[in-house]
Amino acid sequence: MAIIMDGNGRWAKHKGLDRSEGHRKGVDSVRKVVEAAVKAKVKWLTIYAFSTENWMRPDDEVDALMELMVLAVASETPQLVRQGVRLTMIGDTNRLPKDTQDSIKRCMDATKDGENLNLVVAISYSSRWELSEITKAICSDVEKGTISVDNIDDKTISNYLTKRSVPDVDLLIRTGGEVRISNFLLLHAAYAELCFTEC
């Protein structure tokens, strides 16, 4: 499964709150979704937390999101361990502030033995970024002679995906009322069922 957890900021605005309050509420939603996924014996869950386009938001909102990420990851780690959840990340994580990177790494190390659910958080991620990275990696291997241009096919591209060890998405859900997939897992979700919710 994959989820675009959208609408936090709009929810806060509708309630007369700061957008950052909506993002804080989003942490509660993630917790509930992870608990439900474990209970339902879902093996892979990918959550779209922060896209590469989100870097264009106002600095104060981005800073608040990064700070929230550090706090949320630290506070949720013990619960993830108890539930047998293994956390991994995909995306251009080098762009993240060091304290955010460190917090994520500590959580990934602490949850590495989780066997009930593989929770993949897409942060500083977009499919266009991923396709650019794939293209660079393939070109580099062609230059080295590791692969031949004539042998490049869809299987080659799949092998270079940042989620190459993760199964294709069966069900993609987007909350918040928007009916689009916003540059998220375009190749992984090529045959996914799509579900868009108003809430």
Residue in the block written with tokens 């990696």: 137
Backbone region of residue 185 per phi and psi (left: phi > 0; alpha: psi in -120 to 50; beta: other values): left
Residue 41 CA, chain-centre distance (Å), reads 19
Listed in sequence order, the residues at least 6 apart from 197 whose beta carbon sits closer than 8 Å to its beta carbon are 173, 174, 175, 176, 177
Of the residues 18, 54, 92, 141, which is catalytic? Answer: 54
Establish whether 113 is a catalytic residue. Answer: no
For residues 29 and 189, give the distance between their C-alpha atoms in angstroms, rounded to a whole number: 22
Establish whether 6 is a catalytic residue. Answer: yes
- Orientation angle between helical segments 98-111 and 59-83, nearest 10 degrees: 10
Amino acid found at 163: K
Catalytic residue IDs: 6, 54
